[in-house]
Chains A and B, each alone.
Chain A
Amino acid sequence: MARRLNLWRWAVLGLAALYFLIPMAASVLFTVDVPGEGVTFDAYTQIVSADGFLSSLLLSLELAVATIAVVLLLTVPAVVALRLSAPRLRPVVEIVCSLPLVVPPIAFVAGIVTVLKWGPDHLSRTPLFETFVAVQNPDFPVVLVIAYVVMALPFVYRALDAGLRAVDVRTLVEAARSCGASWPQALVRAVLPNLRGALLNASFLTLALVLGEFTVARLLGFEPFAVWIYDVGGSQAQMSVAVSVLSLLVTWALLLALAGAGGRDRTASSRG
C-alpha cells in the first residue's frame, strides 16, 4: 500500500518535472545548437556584450533593492502594530493591501501616466514641478519604485501575516520590555529575528516581481531588464529565446543569493 503510494508520488513528480523541464531543455537546445555549426554559445555571448545589458540589469537590481527596502519599512511596523494594538482592524488592512491584485497593471499605469501629465501642466510654476521631473529621472525612476511598492503590497502583506501568525508577538515584545528593552529595541532584537523567514519570503516575492515587471516600466518609457530583453530579442528568434533563458537563470541566481544571505545571517546572529 505504502509502496503503491510512493510510486504514485514519483510518477506525479516525474510528470511535473517533464512538464517544466522539456520546454526549458528545448529552449536551451534551440539556442546552443546552430544548424551547420554544432554547439555554440554565440547567442549568449552576443547578449552579454549587447548594448545596455549591464545597465538595464543594474537598474532592475537597484529598483528591486529600493522597492524591498521601502515596502518592508512601511509594512513591518504597520503589521506588528496592527497585531499588538488593533487586531480588529486586520480585515480592513487585508482588503486594502489586496486591492492592487484586482487593479490590472494596464489600468494602474494609465492612472500614473495621467497624473504625470497632469502634474507638470498645473504645477509648472511651483517647486513641485522639480519633484515631477526628479521622480522620472531615467537613471533611477522613483516613480517605478512607487508603483512597485504598491504592486508588491499584497504579496508582502500576506508573507508577513503568515510569519506573524507563527509567533506570539505580544509575549515576545513584553518579555523583551521586561528585560529592559525599549520599544524599537524589542522590535529589532526580539520580533524581527523571528520573522526572518517571512521577511525573506517577502523580499523574494518583491525581487521576482520587480525583475519580471514589464507593463508599467515599458508604458512609462523606462528600460529595466525585462524591457531590455524584449527590445533586444524582438529582432532575432534565437537571441530572444536565449534572452529568456538567461533572464530565468539571472532570477534564480539572485533568489539563491538572497536565500544564502538569509541563511548565513541566521547562524551569525544566533551568537549574542
Chain B
Amino acid sequence: MSVSTPDKAATVEFRSLRREFGATVALDGLDLTVRPGEFLALLGPSGCGKTTALRMLAGFEHPDSGAVLVDGEDVTRVPAHRRDAGMVFQSYSLFPHLDAVDNVAFGLRMRKVRTGERRARAAELLDLVGLGDKGERFPHQLSGGQQQRVALARALALRPRVLLLDEPLSALDAKVRLSLREEIRRLQQELGITTLFVTHDQEEALSIADRVAVMRAGQLEQCAEPAELYGRPATAFVAEFVGTMSRIPGTVKDDRVEVLGQRLPFDGQAPGAGEVDVLVRPEAVRVRADGSGTATVVATAFLGAVVRVTVRLADGTEAKADLPAHEAAELGAGSAATVSLPERPVLVAERARE
C-alpha cells in the first residue's frame, strides 16, 4: 500500500530530561529509549509528567536540561514544525473550519503539495481509518471517535518518523475506546511507525503496547514488555499500579518470608530483615470456605469469568482474590474462610505505614 512505507523507522531517545514548572518538577531526569518501529506506552498516574515528556518530543516544551534524540540526532533545538512528528491530542483538536478531507490535508497544504494530489492522499488516509465516506463532514458533524480517527489520519498524513498519542481515547466511551485502540494498534503494525502512546489506564497500556514504560514523579520506574511488567514488577510502585495487588503482612527470616502461616521464597532483595509486606495478585490468592478460618469475606463482585472476593485477614488487612464462579458460590459476605498462597516466589516490599 502506498500509504505505508516509512523509509526506516526511527529510534527515539530521552536523555536525562529535566523540566520544572515553578515549584513542580514535571520531569526529574527521564531516561528512555524507544526502539525503531516499536509501540511504546507511557504509563503513570496523572501528573507524573507523561504529557510533558511527549510534548518535548513534539517540540512544544523545552527541557531545562537533557536532550531528545531521534535516530541519534539531537533535536532539542529543532522547532516543532520541523520535528517530523505526528500528534494526536487528548482533546478534540480538529480545525473546526475545515471538513475531514481538508483537516487531513492540512499538513500537505503547509508543504505546498498541489490541491488534487493532497486531496487524493487525504481521501486515501480517511479510507485507512475507515472514514472514506465522511470526507465532506465538518468536525461538529462527527462523533468523538470519528474525530479522533480523523486526527489520527491527519497525524499520519506527512509520513512522520514518530507518532505521538496523548491519551487519545480518554474522552471516548468504553465501547468506542476499545475498538479504536485495536484499530490504532493495527494501523501502527501495518505502517511500522515508531509510536509513543501516553495513557494512565494500565489495562489499555498492557493490551496494545510492545513495551510499557511506567513513570512516577517525573522518572522512569520500569520499562518492560507487558507480561514481564505484570509478572515481575521491578518495584512495589509498578506492582501496585499495574494490575491489582494486595499487601499481606509477613516476616523475612533466612531467605524466606513467613506469610499466612506459610514459608515462601521471594524474588529479589528483601528491603531488610523483619516486618515486610508481601505483594500478591488476586489470581494468585486462594480462598477456601472454612468455618474455623480466621479470615472473613467482606464483599464479592461478579466480573464475568471470575468473582473477585475481598477478604479481611485476622490482623485486619484486606486482600483480593479472583475465584472461578463455582468456587465463590459458597463464599457469601460475612462467611469465614481460609486464605493461602501457592508455593511460588512472591514479591516483598517495605511495610506500608498508614
Chain A residues at the B interface, C-beta cutoff of 8 Å: 167-168, 171-172, 174-182, 185-186, 189-190, 193-194, 196, 266, 269-272
Closest to B138 in A: A270
| Shortest distance between the CB of B53 and any CB in chain A (Å) | 15
A171 to B87, CA, bound (A): 11
Contacts of A168 in B (CB 8 A): 91, 93
A117 to B99, CA, bound (A): 57
With A179-B154, A194-B95 in contact, is A272–B60 under 8 Å at CB?
no
Check A180 against B96 for contact (C-beta < 8 Å).
no
Check A179 against B110 for contact (C-beta < 8 Å).
yes
| Shortest distance between the CB of B124 and any CB in chain A (Å) | 15
A178 to B155, CA, bound (A): 8
With A171-B89, A272-B115 in contact, is A177–B81 under 8 Å at CB?
yes
Check B96 against A194 for contact (C-beta < 8 Å).
yes
| Shortest distance between the CB of B138 and any CB in chain A (Å) | 8
Classify the interface of chain A: helix, strand, loop or mixed. helix
Q: Which of A171, A175, A179, A185 lies at the interface centre, i.e. has the most chain B CB atoms within 10 A of its CB?
A: A179
Contacts of B102 in A (CB 8 A): 270-272
A185 to B155, CA, bound (A): 17
Closest to B160 in A: A178
Check A176 against B87 for contact (C-beta < 8 Å).
no
State which of B59, B93, B119 has its C-beta within 8 Å of the C-beta of A175.
B93
Contacts of B106 in A (CB 8 A): 176, 179, 181, 189-190
Within 8 A of A (CB), among B85-100: 85-87, 89, 91, 93-99
Check A178 against B98 for contact (C-beta < 8 Å).
no
CB of B111 within 8 Å of the partner chain: yes
CB of B306 within 8 Å of the partner chain: no
State which of A172, A186, A193, A271 has its C-beta within 8 Å of the C-beta of B93.
A172
Closest to B83 in A: A178
Contacts of B82 in A (CB 8 A): 180
A196 to B110, CA, bound (A): 21
Q: Which of B95, B118, B157, B164 lies at the interface centre, i.e. has the most chain A CB atoms within 10 A of its CB?
A: B95
| Shortest distance between the CB of B248 and any CB in chain A (Å) | 46
Contact with A along B87-131 (1 / 0, CB 8 A): 101010111111101100111011100010011000000000000
Check A171 against B93 for contact (C-beta < 8 Å).
yes
Chain B residues at the A interface, C-beta cutoff of 8 Å: 58-60, 79-83, 85-87, 89, 91, 93-99, 101-102, 105-107, 109-111, 115, 118-119, 151, 154-155, 157-158, 164
Check B60 against A174 for contact (C-beta < 8 Å).
yes
A171 to B158, CA, bound (A): 19
A271 to B139, CA, bound (A): 14
Check B158 against A177 for contact (C-beta < 8 Å).
no
Check A181 against B110 for contact (C-beta < 8 Å).
yes
A272 to B111, CA, bound (A): 13
Contacts of B59 in A (CB 8 A): 177
A178 to B54, CA, bound (A): 12
A135 to B311, CA, bound (A): 86
| Shortest distance between the CB of B91 and any CB in chain A (Å) | 6
Closest to B122 in A: A272
A172 to B151, CA, bound (A): 12
With A179-B107, A181-B81, A182-B81 in contact, is A174–B89 under 8 Å at CB?
yes
A189 to B157, CA, bound (A): 17
| Shortest distance between the CB of A197 and any CB in chain B (Å) | 11
Closest to A193 in B: B97
State which of A171, A181, A196, A270 has its C-beta within 8 Å of the C-beta of B98.
A270
Contacts of B86 in A (CB 8 A): 178
Check B98 against A272 for contact (C-beta < 8 Å).
yes
Contacts of B118 in A (CB 8 A): 272
Check B91 against A269 for contact (C-beta < 8 Å).
no
Check B110 against A185 for contact (C-beta < 8 Å).
yes
Contacts of B85 in A (CB 8 A): 178
